Amino acid sequence: MRGNFWKAAVSGGELGDNTRAFFQAITSIGTFYLVAKLLTASTQILAGRWLGPSEYGLANVVIASSNLLAIPLQLGFAPAVSKFPAMETSQDSQADIVSTAIWVNLLWVLPCVALLYWFEGYVSRILQLSAEVYLWSLVCSCLLTCYTLMCSALQGVRLFSQRGKVEVIYASVFAATFAISFWFFEFRYVALVVSLLAALFFSSLAAICYLRDWIRPVVSKQAVRSIKSYALAPVINSIAMTLIMAATPIILLSYMSPREVGIYSAYNLGSVMIAGTLSGIVGTVVGPLSSLPLHNKNAWIRLFKSAPSVILGGIAFFCGTSIVVLKLVGNGYPVELLWLLLFAGSAALSLVFSIALTLLYYRDESGLWLGVGGMVISGVVCLAGSLWAIPRAGISGAALALLTSYGIGLTWCAYWGWKEINHGYGS
């Protein structure tokens, strides 16, 4: 069926129930998400303004490094607990999967953290981080792993409204804690890091409370087999994603200074991070609701029709949001036209790229690996581009590498999306 996805839903066609579920879910989660992200962005803007580019840059190095260290901790548990419970109809079956993922992940995290702490000197030298920054990153990676797993579980059991509320709790704690810790730590980057840790802790606790009917003292062998079969792809995907999001600030710090990392982070906050919020809202709901082949195919048709206008309009939109953010963070962050265009273009492409990846991931196992392939290609391009361009062009080089990586990744996804519409992935 090559007809319009939305028209079929509105007219009561075969996709109507699924699309009504989409609108109901995205309305419930979208409102909370937007409120939370606006509050989080406001806190980030205040942090950039009050801390200055150098200290703000160091805080973002901690965030980037924690995402890197979280890769071996998270393994494939979060994506699995988002996918497999959504395929079950009974709460008991969902609880088996959620509980198994939580307890097995915990047993995996403990020795991993011990090893990362034991080899602190070795790992911190590889990442070119000070001992203090490394330890903050390690603590943050632990809480990030818990937060990601619990939020994924909420999505898997389709508690979309509660998932949105967790985001609001995260943002509220983040803002409140920063207002206090900023004065306590006397304008140092640690103020933002401590605020992030508090936000991750209390929002994870809230998610656990929402999941109390799904968390039980049980480990299911069948659930372990399902999670195991899904583990490798998300690990590779996480590594690739980290190459895009986390490697660049670390490379910038290696070749330049914390100030450049802070400026880069401010532009990223005003563009790519906003795009990530928008794609996260849509992807959180689109994924579970587009698992069936027919729904997936029609979602691709809709994406192809809307992508050009989304990209062009997105460039103008993200230029505007970047200017607003840069004016708010203060005079220490220069407004450069080239940087605006590069970051806005990256944000627009990343928005469509993220949605396309979601459609691949949730299609079937072959789609999952195709999506992982797109992320790997994009990550390698970003890493190689950053290593080549940053020493030569600084922030401009970093932004150009980002733009190129999203463009090539989107091209990969578009090819397989076109094949799904016309022939199916397997043909």
- pLDDT (tens digit per residue) in 371-413: 889 999 999 999 999 999 999 999 999 999 999 999 999 999 9
User: Does residue 242 lie in a domain region?
Assistant: no
My answer on whether 169 and 309 are in the same domain is no
35 pLDDT exceeds 80?
yes
Tell which wins on pLDDT, 223 or 139. Answer: 139
My answer on whether 275 and 216 are in the same domain is no
Average pLDDT over residues 348-374: 86
User: Does residue 175 lie in a domain region?
Assistant: yes
Instruction: Considering only CA atoms, give the Rg of the chain.
Output: 21
My answer on whether 340 and 221 are in the same domain is no
pLDDT band at 26 (very low <50, low <70, confident <90, very high): low
Average pLDDT over residues 77-95: 82
φ/ψ (deg, to 5) at 215: -100, 115
pLDDT band at 353 (very low <50, low <70, confident <90, very high): very high
- Average pLDDT, whole number, for the chain? 85
My answer on whether 221 and 107 are in the same domain is yes
CA distance 157 to 207: 12
φ/ψ (deg, to 5) at 16: -60, -50
Domains of the chain: total: 2
Task: Compute the residue count for the chain.
Answer: 427
Task: Say what the pLDDT of residue 119 is.
Answer: 92
Average pLDDT over residues 164-188: 89
My answer on whether 95 and 205 are in the same domain is yes
Average pLDDT over residues 172-177: 95
List, for residues 221-244, the tens digit of each pLDDT value.
Answer: 888 877 776 667 777 877 787 778
Reference 6, options 425, 305, 285, 275; nearest CA is 305
My answer on whether 344 and 275 are in the same domain is yes
| Tokens found for residue 329 | 């963070």
My answer on whether 325 and 181 are in the same domain is no
My answer on whether 210 and 268 are in the same domain is no
My answer on whether 36 and 103 are in the same domain is yes
CA distance 285 to 302: 16
17 pLDDT exceeds 70?
no
My answer on whether 154 and 300 are in the same domain is no
Average pLDDT over residues 212-227: 85
424 pLDDT exceeds 70?
no
User: Does residue 23 lie in a domain region?
Assistant: no
Residue with token string 């994009």: 378
List, for residues 268-290, the tens digit of each pLDDT value.
Answer: 999 999 998 888 777 766 665 56
User: Does residue 250 lie in a domain region?
Assistant: no
Indicate the residue among 212, 230, 248 that finishes a domain: 230
User: Does residue 225 lie in a domain region?
Assistant: yes
Q: Count of H helices and E strands in the chain?
A: 17, 0
CA distance 287 to 254: 37
Tell which wins on pLDDT, 303 or 345. Answer: 345
| Tokens found for residue 5 | 């996805």
User: Does residue 332 lie in a domain region?
Assistant: yes
Provide the 3-class DSSP secondary structure of residue 330.
coil
User: Does residue 11 lie in a domain region?
Assistant: no
My answer on whether 197 and 269 are in the same domain is no
Average pLDDT over residues 32-54: 88
My answer on whether 52 and 200 are in the same domain is yes
Give residue 54's domain range. Answer: 28-230
User: Does residue 22 lie in a domain region?
Assistant: no
